[in-house]
Amino acid sequence: MTDHEHGEHATSEHAHPGAKAYVGIAVILTVITAFEVAIFYIPQMHPVLVPSLLTLSALKFTLVVMFYMHLKFDHRLFSWLFVMPMILAAAVILALMKLFGVF
Amino acid sequence: MAVAAHAVPHAAHPPTSTGLNSRKMLFWAFLGSECMFFGSLIATYLVYRGRDQVGPHPHEIFSIPFTSFSAFVLLMSSLTMVLALAAIQRGDQKKGSLWLAATALLGMTFVGGQCYEFTEFFYKGLHLQTNLFGSTFFVLTGFHGTHVTVGVIWLWTLFTLAVRGKIPKEKALDVEIAGLYWHFVDIVWIAIFTLVYLIQ
Amino acid sequence: MTTTTAPVAAPAATHEAGSPSGLWSWLTTVDHKRIGVLYGVTAFIFFLIGGIEATLMRIQLAKPENTFVSPDVFNQLFTMHGTTMIFLAIMPLSASFFNFLVPLMIGARDVAFPRLNAFSYWVYLFGALFINASFFLGGAPNTGWFGYSNLTSSQFSPGHGVDFWAVGLQILGIASLAAGFNFIITIVNMRAPGMKLMRMPVFVWMTLVTSFLIILAFPVITVALVFLLFDRLTGTNFFQPAMGADPVLWQHLFWLFGHPEVYILILPAMGIVSEVLPTFSRKPLFGYPVVVYSGIFIGFMGWGVWSHHMFAVGLGPIADSFFALSTMLIAIPTGVKIFNWIATMWGGRVELKTAMLFAVGFISMFIMGGLSGFMHASPPADLQQTDTYFVVAHIHYVLFGGSMMGIFAGLYYWFPKMTGRMLDERLGKAHFWLTLIGMNVTFFPMHFVGLLGMPRRVYTYAPNMGFDAMNMMSTIGVFGIILALLFFIANVLKSRASGKPAGNDPWGGSTLEWAISSPPPPHNFGTIPTVHSLDPLWAKDGAEITRTAGQVRGPIHMPPGSIWPLVAALGMTMLMSGMVFGWYVGIPGLVIMLTGLYSWSFEPCD
Amino acid sequence: MTPSRRRSKPLRLAAGLLVLGALALAGCALKDYPQSTLTPHSDLAWAIQHLLEQLTFWVVLIFVLVEGMLIVTVMRFRSRPGSPEPKHVHGNTALEVAWTIAPALILTFVAVPTVLTIFKTQAKAPAGSLEVKVVGHQWWWEFQYPGQKIVTGSELHVPVGRTVALSLETADVIHSFWLPIVGGKRDVVPSRTNHIWFTADSVGVFPGTCAEFCGISHANMHMKLFVDTQKDFDAWVAAQQQPPIEPDSTSLAGKGKAMFLEVGCAACHTISGLSPGIIGPNLTHVGSRTSIAGSTYPNHPEYVSQWLANPQARKPGALMTNLGLKPDQIAALTAYVESLK
């Protein structure tokens, strides 16, 4: 965490994407969800089920956070406040799974 | 203070060191904290998965088409939420209140679906006490459902205010923060849907 | 308590709130300084209660096969001693310093969310009363402050003790979380102009790191306690081995919280010492950025070491090695801090006032605690030491020799600022030396009695084990600590009665709080200073800052008091205690809480 | 207080503490401190001891250096009348680097043997080890020798010089198995099996205890390790494998046997060929043990009678039922129990 805030223009008044962009994102989210469910039902996809589902849901996650929650356009400090704990939470999940021999 | 003064979005608030609104910052920190909360719940679910001594097991119980629809409903509520915010930020409280209502209704649909799902599972023999799957599943999704319910109450409160014209442009932050909460609840469901339902 | 508002020399008409007195003004206060005092006084009372619990245990252990207290009472005592000292004494004592000092040190008029701050205190008070009420309502918790599953299950711990513990910790967790959020935002957002992050006093930095640890660690224990409560109240199987569950999960979740918690307890004291040493060495802190980064690194690494509390569990050689190495790594930033503190004094003009004695005592005792910690960072060695009195010695060198010495250093240093009156140096020095001798007589023999095979958490021991003499010595030492505390209390009373007026800056400190009167006026700074350096009052414009800080130009708006945080806190405590007492407490609690929150949200403020 | 007196106090204190420590360590004879961790009697305990010695060396060295530095600094730079105003030094990069690297180096010296010892002591037990299954109970230890078909409680017999592989389990809550002279502790955890193996290197009787808090009588959950010569061990095994002694039915012990079945002891205790209970310790050869009640009291008729009369008085929270026995019943049962050599 540095102190770039000082003397810089605060960025909370950035132009947000308009309704059109929001709907576009929603369409993408819907398509990804459909894709996920499809993967679940197609036996041929099962060898890559876990990695592909994880990738797709991470993509959805990112889209919502970046555009609907405006992190892409907002001040970097907010990203820090959210992303660091998220990484920590993910690390905790992975560490516990490892310690309990899930993988 | 001249440095930060021009960056202050709301005249009512004293200027801050970063020029960022304190309430919004508090809320992002809160969401960071919530990450650890849901992270611990999800970790427990994943650690205990497959250790059940007795059924029912996830694959005997989950209805993927139904939950996919619920997940879709919640995703769409994120869209209506962001549209509500955009309207309020433009100063259009009428449209804003409509989108807020739509979001709340979608949220209620999701919670209703969850109630239906829980009842269904209950009759199929999966109780809170049946096995580890029952305990971890109901507590994890139950806490998520509680979050959605709190969000729905919050949204209706904002709706009432917006209808009465009490959320002008200058107070858009109130809606923005509710939106952050709502989207967070949505992304938690994105994670739960994948990790709990699809990857069995 | 009421006396802290005595000599406010602020010009009239400067602020709307004024400085009212009386009970109502304390119940409704949102002033960070008053909340700090409330925190401090309450936490000190609980520190004494925890001390009484410890004394009773030490009397029981003074000789082998003693029957001073029953085994069950002994188990309640050590459980409540740990819980009290950690959650009701040291954390809130640190919170007291955060509250009183952080806004002053960063040049702010208050914290970012004054009413949330009041809420945090009241939740802490009610949670503390709730958890201690268990003593009178069928028995206090008796499964240790760590509450290892599956001993805490309803099968092995029937009765309400564990419920009180779990619900009490949930309530206290909410208080800590509220405070954690508040101080993060306050520090990031409320700094005076020119106070960049790397110009913040180290104490403020450590508050920031601690607050982050709080908001990230408490959710984990919250989840673990939710599981425990579900298991006990609804019959779920989170920790039921018969259903395939693994009780070790509790340990992982608990220590995932518990190790950051250790740093939550020690980092504030490190921050205090980093303020005291430069002032009494007449020299700036040596290697400020390194000390700050070390603190951040310690906080960060605190997340990667939790399983070193679990080496005996049998996690396998790979996990043991990983957690051993990560734990040893923490020794580096800790060592670096100690070297920098010593280097701060090197070449300085060291004035051994009481505050400084405690700060030096902190370093000296913390080295001991750190080194014994280093010994059980090595898993094979730890297997002989864990769960013995060796570890009891270690934690007390860290938490008593470390945290408490640091807190006393801070008390002697800032007491004049808080009350406007000086403490007596002679009584203070007696307090210090008795504390130092008392704690070493008490805790040093524990290293040996542990290495010689005495396990911890035992209410009795056999006479032929060679434990007798050292246990007697430890018990005698406790009375030295008690005597020391009597000197401290006498000192405070004397200062209230006839202490010398402190003036703005009795020690010649470098940080902003010394620029204003003691005790500070409700609005803190008449004119918010502009900061140009790390040690503003020692810099060229220091005199200028001091001159203008008291001058009021134009009206100052301070937030009005509010009773609603108290109401909301009371309702929330009742709601949650309904899990133990039943719906007829829970439902009214819900109503009271919603009333409080609703009135709070729609109350005009800011 | 004069300055000189004040200054010498920390020194005197430090010296006092050092002397005290030296005395304590010098007096660590096993007869005075039977449960000491500092008197290893097995390969495992020695491995730990060697590591501990290295750790102690570094720790004492660092302690003396840093505390010395601290005291010297405070004394040398004490404020005196006329001391000059100090120069405002803000830091020194070379120094910072030096005192970051120095501890890192020391860490390496400790970390390498630590990891080696971890892997050495946690490797699989060598084939042909004597296998014993340890089960923790609230509040006593059970020892099962599957190869020898022996089940006993509170007293573990092993032959000297032969590797013993323990597998550790629990019947109820978490306990921690700890025999300091053979090595570090290992928790017994529900739904897990832990392992520890060691080769005892000298004959003797050594106490051990539960080290993890496990409820009200945690302090009374002891055990004894008997390291026997191979010959003694074989004799012990042979004796334990015998069926229980059959008392003359007219003797007091014979009455006790009838009483054993009559008052309900049989529901919880196994006596080979007589009763199948598995909740309490196996009593087939209880008379041959040296202690009772989780190795809390000597196995002596007086203690046995007191125990039977009111178990909770001797051991708080003991799960053995207080059967409200009359004095003549207690006498008979005591005689029977004592006869089960």
Residues of B in contact with C227 (CB under 8 A): 44, 139
C278 or B19: whose pLDDT is higher?
C278
Residues in chain C closer than 8 A to B135 (CB atoms): 230, 236-238
Nearest to A99 among C188, C216, C319 (CB): C319
Closest chain C CA to residue D114: C378
Residue A12 distance to chain B (closest CA, Å)? 7
Which chains contact D through at least 3 pairs of Cβ atoms less than 8 Å apart? C
What element of type H or E holds C95?
helix C91-105
The CA-atom distances, in angstroms, between D318 and each of C282, C600, D212, D246, D267 are: 63, 53, 17, 29, 16
β-bridge partners, D130: D164
| A90 CB within 8 Å of a chain C CB | no
What string of H, E and C letters represents the secondary structure of C101-121? HHHHHCCCCCCCCHHHHHHHH
Confidence of residue A4 (pLDDT cuts 50, 70, 90): very low
Domain-located, residue C366: yes
D216 strand-pairing partners: none
Tell if the CB–CB gap between A57 and B19 is shorter than 8 Å: no
- Are residues C530 and C593 located together in one domain of the fold? no
Domains of chain B: 22-198 (1.20.120.80)
C593 and C540 in a single domain? The answer is: no
Nearest beta carbon to residue B79 from set A22, A56, A102 = A22
What values do phi and psi take at C183, rounded to 5?
A: -75, -30
Is the alpha carbon torsion for D116, D117, D123, D126 positive or negative?
positive
User: Measured in Å, how far apart are chain C's first and last C-alpha atoms?
Assistant: 26
Q: Tell me, what's the pLDDT at D294?
A: 85
At residue A11, the pLDDT reads 40
Q: Are residues C251 and C376 in the same domain?
A: yes
Tell me which residue in A10, A25, A93 faces B18 most closely, judged by beta carbons.
Answer: A10
In 3D space, the residue among C484, C298, C331, C307 whose CA is nearest the CA of residue C400 turns out to be C484
Is residue C471 in a domain? yes
Look up the CATH architecture of domain D252-339. Answer: Sandwich (2.60)
Omega before C464 within 30 of 0, i.e. cis: no
Structural domain span for residue C311: 29-497+504-561
Question: Are C347 and D87 a contacting pair at CB < 8 A?
Answer: yes
Name the residue in chain D with its Cα closest to that of C240. D190
Nearest C-alpha neighbor of C405 from the set C438, C435, C373: C435
Is there a single domain that holds both residue C368 and residue C511? Answer: yes
pLDDT of residue C9: 39
Task: Give contacts of B13 with chain C, Cβ < 8 Å.
Answer: 606
| C78 and C116 belong to one structural domain | yes
Contacts with C173 from chain B: Cβ below 8 Å: none
CA C501 to the chain's CA centroid: 28
Q: Which residue has the tokens 């209706």?
A: B156
Domain co-membership, C204 together with C309: yes
What subunits touch chain C, counting only 3 or more CB pairs under 8 A? A, B, D
Q: Are residues C125 and C201 in the same domain?
A: yes
Which residues of chain A does C188 touch, with a Cβ-Cβ cutoff of 8 Å? 77
Residues 6+ away with beta carbon under 8 Å from C507: C279, C280, C353, C355, C413, C416, C514
Q: String of b and e for C78-112 (b: at least 16 CB within 10 Å)?
A: bbbbbbbbbbbbbbbbbbbbbbbbbbbbbbbbbbb
Per CATH, is D21-75+96-240 categorized as 2.60.40.420? yes
Return the residue in A31, A37, A72 with the most chain B beta carbons within 10 A, the one to mutate for interface testing: A37
Asked if D99's CB is within 8 angstroms of C380's CB, the reply is: no
Place of tokens 């001073």: C68
Low-confidence ranges of chain C (pLDDT < 50): 1-18, 606
* Bond from prior residue into B56 cis (ω within 30 degrees of 0): yes
Question: Looking at beta carbons, which residues of chain B come within 8 Å of C191?
Answer: 17
CB contact (8 A) between residue C234 and residue B129: yes
Regarding whether C346 and C316 lie in a shared domain, the answer is yes
Contact yes or no for C177 and B41 at CB 8 A: no
If you measure CA to CA, which chain C residue comes closest to B128? C236
In a domain, C231, yes or no: yes
Calculate mean pLDDT across residues A5-26: 63
DSSP symbols for C325-359:
HHHHHHHHHHHHHHHHHHHHHTTS-B---HHHHHH
Domain positions in chain D are 21-75+96-240, 252-339
CB contact under 8 A, A3 and C196: yes
Which residues make Cβ contacts (< 8 Å) with residue D4, sequence separation at least 6?
Answer: none
* Residue C525, phi then psi, degrees to nearest 5: -110, 125
Candidates C256, C307, C315; nearest CB to A92: C256
Q: Please state, in angstroms and as integers, the Cα–Cα distance from residue A9 to each residue in B13, C67, C188, D84, following that order.
A: 18, 70, 16, 46
CA dist C145 and C82 (Å) reads: 5
Which phi-psi region, left, alpha or beta, contains residue D222 (left: φ > 0; alpha: ψ -120 to 50)? beta
Q: For residue range A34-54, what is the model confidence (pLDDT) as tens digits?
A: 988 888 888 888 888 888 889
The Cα–Cα gap between B87 and A22 comes to 13
H helix and E strand count, chain C: 19, 0
Enumerate residues 182 to 241 of chain C having a beta carbon within 8 A of any beta carbon in chain D: 241
According to DSSP, the β-strands at D175-178 and D275-276 are unpaired
Q: Taking Cα atoms as reference points, which of B38, B53, B50 lies closest to residue B129?
A: B53
Tell me whether B123 touches chain C (CB under 8 Å): no
First-to-last alpha carbon distance for chain B, in angstroms, is 56
What's the DSSP call for residue D37?
Answer: T
How many Å apart are CA D74 and CA C357, to the nearest integer?
10
Measure in Å the smallest separation between the Cα of C343 and chain A Cα atoms.
26
Q: At what angle do helices A19-41 and A49-63 cross, to 10 degrees?
A: 170
CA geometry: angle C62, C68, C73, nearest 5 deg: 110
A21 pLDDT more than 70: yes
Closest residue, chain B, to A66 (C-alpha): B183
Instruction: Please tell me the distance in Å from B101's CA to the nearest CA on chain C.
Output: 21
* Chain C partners within 8 Å of D12 (Cβ): none
pLDDT of amino acid C368: 93
pLDDT at D80: 86
How far does Cα D208 stand from its chain's mean position?
3
Residue D128 burial (CB count, 10 A): 9
What is the CA B59 to chain-centroid distance, rounded? 26
Angstrom distance (rounded) from CA C231 to CA C163 = 11
Using the beta-carbon criterion (under 8 Å), do C237 and B41 form an inter-chain contact?
A: no
The ipTM is 0.91
**Inter-chain residue contact C198 with A92, CB threshold 8 Å:** no
Same domain, C420 and C549: yes
Contacts of A54 in chain B (CB under 8 A): 194, 199
CB contact residues (below 8 A), chain C span 17-46, against chain B: none
Per-residue tens of pLDDT for chain D, all 341 residues = 344 444 444 545 555 555 556 555 554 566 788 898 888 999 999 999 889 888 888 899 999 999 999 999 999 999 888 888 888 888 888 899 999 999 999 999 999 999 999 999 999 989 889 999 999 999 999 999 999 999 998 999 999 999 999 999 999 999 999 999 998 899 999 989 999 999 999 999 999 999 999 999 999 999 999 999 999 999 999 999 988 888 888 888 888 888 888 888 888 898 888 888 888 898 888 888 999 888 888 888 899 999 998 999 888 988 888 888 888 888 888 988 888 88
**Same domain membership, residue C571 and residue C469:** no
Burial B143-169 (b: 16+ CB within 10 A, else e): ebbebbbebbebbbbbbebbbeeebee
- Any domain includes C6: no
Let me know: does C147 contact C166? Beta carbons within 8 Å.
yes
Residues C531 and C435 in one domain: yes
Distance CA C290, CA D94 (A): 12
What is the pLDDT at residue D262? 86
CA distance B104 to chain A (A): 16
Residues from chain B contacting residue C528 (CB–CB below 8 Å): 1
Chain C: closest CA distance from residue D95 (Å): 9
Residues of C in contact with A3 (CB under 8 A): 196-198
Cis preceding-peptide flag for C519 (omega within 30 of 0):
yes
Distance between CA atoms of residues A21 and B96, nearest Å? 17
Q: Are residues C581 and C488 in the same domain?
A: no
Contact predicate D287/D134, CB 8 Å: no
Chain D residues close to C335, C-beta within 8 Å: 99, 102-103
- pTM, full prediction: 0.92
> What pLDDT is recorded for position A40?
87
